[in-house]
Amino acid sequence: MNMIYEREAKGNIEVVGLRLEAAVKARKFGVISVLDLQAKMKEKGVNFTNQCRIYEVCNPQKAKQVLENDMRISTALPCRISLYEQNGKIILATLLPTETLRLFGQKALESVAEEVEREIKGMIDEAAG
């Protein structure tokens, strides 16, 4: 089974990023941070040519629900959506929450992971244009 959900997006990094932020907000999630990987590498003296922004997104109620069950899951939170350029295409991608949760063996949280995954896929689909 594929652990990554990805979609090719229409537009440039800025346009797709704005659509993604709107889709995150519309689904009652929040953008905790955005890491501009290309800029960060340049800051460290590394010439990295591909644009890549990593959005950390979270629904606080869902995070509370899973963390109260198993604090180890904090190692996989918040959820990340990567927006990057590769071979002239703009791609949105995420690790599937259901697959990530399987690493912790928490069957009781499967429905929460499925719900979060549906929302994140929806965000990506909307942002892809």
With 80 as the cut, is the pLDDT of residue 23 above it?
yes
Strand partners, 30: 58
User: In a 10 Å sphere around its CB, with 0-12 CB exposed, 13-18 middle and 19+ buried, how is residue 55 labelled?
Assistant: buried
Task: Name all domains of the chain by residue range, CATH numbers in brackets.
Answer: 4-128 (3.30.310.70)
pLDDT in tens, 4-18: 999 999 999 999 999
Task: Determine if the pTM surpasses 0.85.
Answer: yes
Instruction: Report the alpha-carbon distance of residue 53 to residue 40 in Å, rounded.
Output: 10
Predicted confidence (pLDDT) at residue 25 exceeds the cutoff of 90: yes
CB-based contact 6:126 (threshold 8 Å): no
pLDDT digits (tens, 9 = 90+) for 97-113: 999 999 999 899 999 99
